[in-house]
Structure 1
Amino acid sequence: MLSCGIQLVLMTYPYGKFYLWDPWFIQENGSIHMFHLKAPCLQNPELRDDSACIGHAITYDFHSWQELEDAIFASEGGWDNLSIWTGSTIKHDGRFYLFYTGRHRSTPLVQHIGLAVSEDLITFERVSDKPVLSADGEIYCKKARLDYLQNPPAWRDPFVFREKSGKYIMLITARDASRPAPYNACIGAAHSSNLIEWELLPPLLSPGIFAEMETPQLVEDSGNYYLFFSCKKSNVNPISPFAGTGTYMFSSKQLFGDYTPWNDKSGYIDLGDSSVYNFKIIQKAGKQSYALGWRAYDKNGNFAGALSKPYEVSFLENRIKITPAITA
């Protein structure tokens, strides 16, 4: 049997106890709550997706983490009875809303978005026995088959935030039905006034050069909008001027404006470490912003499945500066 993250998890959470990937964060009462995908250490870590649930931990400094009870498991017989995938958490009127991705055992390629709520940010209950949002087949593809790059359909990783008008926006890892596969990945969008009923919008970004645009996040800073997503090098169209595995950033002056790459590398953010994937920005009002992702491999090429070290983040007029954080 392989141990979890043979080298690096000895230094970073979860210290070899289980596989961790795709973290996201919410701040509450001076602490940082991290939700993340979690699976037992398996002989083949590539099998972890079908046993994933949402784990939960808390920190005050990004270095010491306290493990809390798991937030969401696969249901017994519902639409999400296979495994639970990536989502986001937002506070509204004193309650916490956790959006997540789920799949059914009979249709494992098909992804839907579900919702659970909590009064205390610890114990979550599903709001319905049905998904809150699914692909429509018109704006967004919902074909249940692999493309020739062996990527599955995409309707996952909901990222929810409140815009200035008061409406809630959901960004989604999706596929643009108006483009040919496989390079039809897009950042899908929907809006809602109550976080329960959602209306689909056109894609926020559909560049036609990615086969996957995973785990989106939108950050607003000084009137600029920064859109982040992750992609593997193998899922970048060969026509692109650059391809790398990791996180990409596009920026715009308007929320629903024209998003363009922030650099001449197709928006790729070079951390100097291609094993770090899907980092998320944590904005602290009036203070230094940080980012954490998850580390896929250790220095020997073994699967790690652990939290990355924290990075300091600064936004500089449509550009981003990221440096390792000495102390957070």
Structure 2
Amino acid sequence: MSFTLADHWVWDFWHADDGDTHHLFYLHAPKSLGDPNLRHRNALVGHATSTDLTTWDDHGVVLEPGEADSFDGSATWTGSVVRGDDGVWNMFYTGSRFLSPDAITNVETVGRAVSSDLASWTKQSNQIPADPRWYETLPDGTWHEEAWRDPWIHRDSTGLWHMLLTARARPGAGRDSGVIGHATSPDLEQWTMQPPLSEPGAGFAHIEVVQLVTIDGRHVLLFSCDTGHLAGTRQAEGAPGGIWALPLESDSLEGTLDTAAAVRLTNDDLYAGRAVQTRSGQWVLLAFENVDRDGTFISGISDPLPLSWAPDGSLTLSTARAKVNA
């Protein structure tokens, strides 16, 4: 296991590369809470750096919840980091606000923070909530949360910025309503809500931690859905969840993404996978160590695992630790 903390659980993460150093931003919560399920209500964003994606120097907390009544009043959740044309780093992250200490009901909203050095971050005043024209929200009363999280930022060939999110469709297909939310921006500040990039009914109650990446000239969408949140036929047949990959003909995000055709890369033992390119050009997957064979939560981020394309055009993952020149 590559990155762990002795007294904190570590799970979802994202990555930025400044050209010299790999930067890891990760969710963590104290093990003193006792129950690992409570980590979601107490998540902070930490920062670590590495030159080889294996040995990490931890720098502690860089983003934490706001005031109790704010959009991120309970916890700061998963996001992504991109650099704008002005050289400023932008972190788009999930703000979580739980409405009761005794229920899992919560509202998720995307926030933004900026930094000049990837170490010190300043929250911005504008937030990006789910648009009820297309997305299920808490007042619909059909799901325990208002799902609008895990923003992944992608820039297309025209310079337009796209935000891809974990969301649920409205109207949806009951449990089987997981879709990829979508918003666009010309400048990373002003965002326009768009209809979902995928359709409900693909077998996922949620499509989490989306990443759109180009690996060796081929485009692929990575996302996660655990066994407990599969839906439709997948759920009925007792299929396992994990990290999924969907090869794409283009990264232009035109047309509907067929998430039903995604192929599973891992079981639930690894989750929230991120494809990262090393200094030598090798592509590897980092993921958090999710559960053991008994379903017990583990915590910590894996060593790099090699990614490659199979002859049939599918993305494959080696479980052997990569020897990388990161």
Name the TM-score, length of structure 2 as normaliser. Answer: 0.87
Match of 1:7 in 2: none
What is the number of residues matched between the two proteins? 310
Percent identity of paired positions between Structure 1 and Structure 2: 29
Whether the aligned pair in 2 keeps the contact of 1:110 and 1:144 (CA below 8 Å) is no
Question: 3-state SS of the aligned residue for 1:205?
Answer: coil
Structure having greater relative contact order (Cα 8 Å, sep ≥ 6): 1
Letter in 2 for 1:90: V
Shift in CA distance, 298/159, structure 1 to aligned 2, threshold 3 Å:
same
Match of 1:4 in 2: none
Match of 1:21 in 2: 11
Displacement after TM superposition at 1:17 (Å): 2.9
Match of 1:116 in 2: 113
Question: 3-state SS of the aligned residue for 1:303?
Answer: coil
Give me the whole-angstrom Cα distance separating, in 1, the residues matched to 2:220 and 2:322. 25
Give me the whole-angstrom Cα distance separating, in 1, the residues matched to 2:303 and 2:147. 29
Question: 3-state SS of the aligned residue for 1:292?
Answer: strand
Give me the whole-angstrom Cα distance separating, in 1, the residues matched to 2:88 and 2:111. 16
Mean Cα displacement is larger for which, 87-96 or 103-112? 103-112
Match of 1:246 in 2: 242
Give me the whole-angstrom Cα distance separating, in 1, the residues matched to 2:276 and 2:120. 23
Q: Does 1:158 align with 2:151?
A: yes
Alignment of 1:1-328 (within 5 A): 11-41=1-31, 42-77=33-68, 78-92=70-84, 93-106=86-99, 109-128=106-125, 130-131=126-127, 133-144=128-139, 147=142, 151-208=144-201, 209-221=203-215, 224-240=218-234, 243-254=239-250, 255=252, 256-260=254-258, 266-271=261-266, 274-284=268-278, 287-298=281-292, 301-316=295-310, 318-323=313-318, 324-328=320-324
Displacement after TM superposition at 1:222 (Å): 5.6
Give me the whole-angstrom Cα distance separating, in 2, the residues matched to 1:146 and 1:285. 48
Long gaps (5+) in structure 1: 1-10
Question: 3-state SS of the aligned residue for 2:231?
Answer: coil
Q: CA-to-partner distance for each residue in 1:104-134, whole Å, 9 max, x for gaps?
A: 3547511100000001110000111x41x11
Question: 3-state SS of the aligned residue for 1:79?
Answer: coil
Give me the whole-angstrom Cα distance separating, in 1, the residues matched to 2:28 and 2:156. 30
Displacement after TM superposition at 1:277 (Å): 0.8
Mean Cα displacement is larger for which, 162-171 or 226-235? 226-235
Give me the whole-angstrom Cα distance separating, in 2, the residues matched to 1:222 and 1:31. 22
Shift in CA distance, 139/238, structure 1 to aligned 2, threshold 3 Å:
closer
Give me the whole-angstrom Cα distance separating, in 1, the residues matched to 2:3 and 2:141. 33
Give me the whole-angstrom Cα distance separating, in 2, the residues matched to 1:135 and 1:126. 19
Give me the whole-angstrom Cα distance separating, in 2, the residues matched to 1:116 and 1:104. 18
Displacement after TM superposition at 1:15 (Å): 4.2
Whether the aligned pair in 1 keeps the contact of 2:25 and 2:48 (CA below 8 Å) is yes
Long gaps (5+) in structure 2: none
Shift in CA distance, 180/298, structure 1 to aligned 2, threshold 3 Å:
closer
Give me the whole-angstrom Cα distance separating, in 1, the residues matched to 2:15 and 2:141. 31
Whether the aligned pair in 1 keeps the contact of 2:198 and 2:258 (CA below 8 Å) is no
Whether the aligned pair in 2 keeps the contact of 1:217 and 1:227 (CA below 8 Å) is yes
Question: 3-state SS of the aligned residue for 1:297?
Answer: coil
Question: 3-state SS of the aligned residue for 2:228?
Answer: helix
Whether the aligned pair in 2 keeps the contact of 1:170 and 1:190 (CA below 8 Å) is yes
Displacement after TM superposition at 1:103 (Å): 2.5
